[in-house]
Amino acid sequence: MLALKQNPLYQSTYKSFEQSNFEESIQTVQGFILGLLAQGLNSSDNASLKLAQEILNNDTPLTGKSIAVFTTLLLELERDLKQNKIHFFLPQAEDQVNQDQRLKALGDTAYGALLGLSIPQHKIPFNVMADPKAAKEQAMKSKTDRYTRERLEMLEQIANIDPEDVKDFSEEDYELVTTEMGAIISEFYTKNHIHG
């Protein structure tokens, strides 16, 4: 896993993201884009930007800078998924970020991924913004096999991590959960783009 200071996509976009008008964190936006791509959309789908505005920004129009950042993330994350690699925007130990911030970033990424995975390609379910459980339930509507349901439930558990409840934080567990989250997103992407 790359530290934020070694992650080229993060480094090239985070300053512009901070100046954008997204209402969610950069981790939630990254997770959302990865979820949309894993769900079956691709960077040429005009729906992606509209969905981001409606779902992540409560229908507040995105500024030009926001659109540019979103488009860059969409194109680069799709390229990474095609190469079967994901570099999450998650702080690592060398980034010298406290445990609570690291766990919040992890939860935000999983939540964003659940939101992206919950979007049926034919309509937009606004009710999924309530919480990770609602997003997972929406995503499960079209995914009936047991293994897929278990993977979505795992994403929900990650999204629901409460930093205050984590007493025994270990670097090994953090890396394991992050790796598992990447595997889940890659599996959905492969299933929906290669086998779908």
Mean pLDDT by groups of 10 residues along the chain of 196 residues: 95 97 97 95 89 92 97 98 96 94 97 90 47 62 73 92 87 95 95 75
CA distances to 139, 148, 172, 173 from 153, rounded to whole Å, are 10, 9, 21, 18
Quick: pLDDT tens for 31-75: 999 999 999 999 998 889 999 999 999 999 999 999 999 999 999
Burial of 57 per CB tally in 10 Å (0-12, 13-18, 19+) = middle
What is the predicted pLDDT for the residue at 193? 84
Per domain, the residue ranges of the chain are 4-193
Predicted local distance difference test score (pLDDT) of residue 121:
53
Look at residue 141 in the predicted model and tell me its pLDDT: 60
165 close to 100: Cβ distance less than 8 angstroms: no
pTM of the model: 0.88
The CATH code for residues 4-193 is: 1.20.120.740
